[in-house]
Amino acid sequence: MSIEVSGVNKNYGDFVALEDINLTIPTGQLTALLGPSGGGKTTLLRVIAGLETPDTGSVVIEGKDATSLPVQKRNVGFVFQHYAAFKHLSVAKNVAFGLEIRKRPKAEVAKKVGELLELVHLSQFANRLPSQLSGGQRQRMALARALAIEPSVLLLDEPFGALDAKVRKELRDWLRRLHDEVHVTTVFVTHDQEEALEVADEIVVVNQGGIEQIGTPEQLYDQPANDFVMSFLGDVTTLGGSLIRPHDVEVTPSPISEHSLEGTVSRVLRIGFEVRLTVLTDDGEVVTAELTRTHARALRLEEGANVFVTPTPGAYTMPAPSSAA
């Protein structure tokens, strides 16, 4: 087990940032800390890095108690949301920083920096200053800089948060491939559930200073532990008093089971290949359903049409919390 966090509490005055966190992160995996803003995920990452001191509890990295070790001695690579590029140093010098601090021989540093710049596709920019790079390039430089010290764990704080949607997606795929190549234990913080589901081997859902659920993307999506996890990981709607994913709602012109509810289509929204229906059932429940465009056309669905909504057999549902009804 690469990182073991146990009994960690952290308060800022009256604000409880982390409450009794126990977490084990396995070696060599890509783990996402996922949660809403202000939920404590960044604080947890910074506690692991040694950039924050927990009020109580311990952090063990690769079997070594790191709780009282300063960040310098933990051998962690940390990547910041806003890159934290050393503005006065060239790209190559940025990457070389950790090695120069470690007083490695010049030839070794040059070789290692060359390899890393190759890995992050920045070789031709070695002599540029960070200000001459795009956001995505800067973040790749920051990643190479963190990898240069051969860290036991790589920690990324919302690494793609400051980038535009297209670059974000590219970097996300690239991070996954890079991890498959380098295999360093990696923890990254994100508030984007799509990013976590797509990239991570394991997801830790953090909310209000505590951990809601730990599991693989499949486990979290298919068997969420509670309504918070279910609604954070994707769209949800209520059907017959249960929470269900809109794409698990079947829409038919006639009832197909005893669970079918009658209602009228109150809104049809087309988004690309997808059609999103709002159905008002006769019991007064508002149900959202997602269908493909072709399917919707075959059913001749339009506003005011009379339909039946049924949970798809085998779909995961959970009782809706009473407050949300």
Kindly state the smallest distance separating residue 99's Cβ from another protein, in Å.
9
Told to check if 162 binds another protein by CB under 8 A, we report no
Kindly state the smallest distance separating residue 293's Cβ from another protein, in Å.
44
Told to check if 70 binds another protein by CB under 8 A, we report yes
Annotate 257-273 with DSSP letters as a single string.
STT-EEEEEEEEEEETT
Output 86 or 174, the one with its CB closest to another protein.
Answer: 86
Told to check if 64 binds another protein by CB under 8 A, we report no
Angle at CA of residue 58, ends 57 and 59, nearest 5°: 140
Task: Select the residue interacting with another protein from 14, 37, 63, 72 (CB under 8 A).
Answer: 72
Told to check if 71 binds another protein by CB under 8 A, we report yes
Binding piece for another protein, criterion CB under 8 A, among 5-13, 73-81, 242-250, 262-270: 73-81
42: left (phi over 0), alpha (psi -120 to 50) or beta: alpha
Site for another protein in 74-103 (CB under 8 A): 74-78, 80, 82, 84-89, 97-98, 101-102
Give residue 37's identity as a one-letter amino acid code. Answer: S
Site for another protein in 128-147 (CB under 8 A): 129, 131, 142, 145-146
* Residue the block writes with tokens 């108690």: 65
* Whole-number Å distance between alpha carbons of 86 and 109: 18
Size of the site for another protein (CB under 8 A): 31
Told to check if 49 binds another protein by CB under 8 A, we report yes
Residues 6+ positions from 243 with CB-CB distance below 8 Å:
227, 230, 231, 236, 237, 317, 318, 319, 320
Output 72 or 322, the one with its CB closest to another protein.
Answer: 72
Angle at CA of residue 157, ends 154 and 158, nearest 5°: 125
Residue 304: C-alpha distances to residues 132, 269, 282, 299 (Å):
57, 14, 13, 13
Kindly state the smallest distance separating residue 114's Cβ from another protein, in Å.
18
Residues 6+ positions from 133 with CB-CB distance below 8 Å:
91, 122, 125, 141
Told to check if 126 binds another protein by CB under 8 A, we report no
Binding site for another protein (CB under 8 A): 49-51, 70-78, 80, 82, 84-89, 97-98, 101-102, 129, 131, 142, 145-146, 148-149
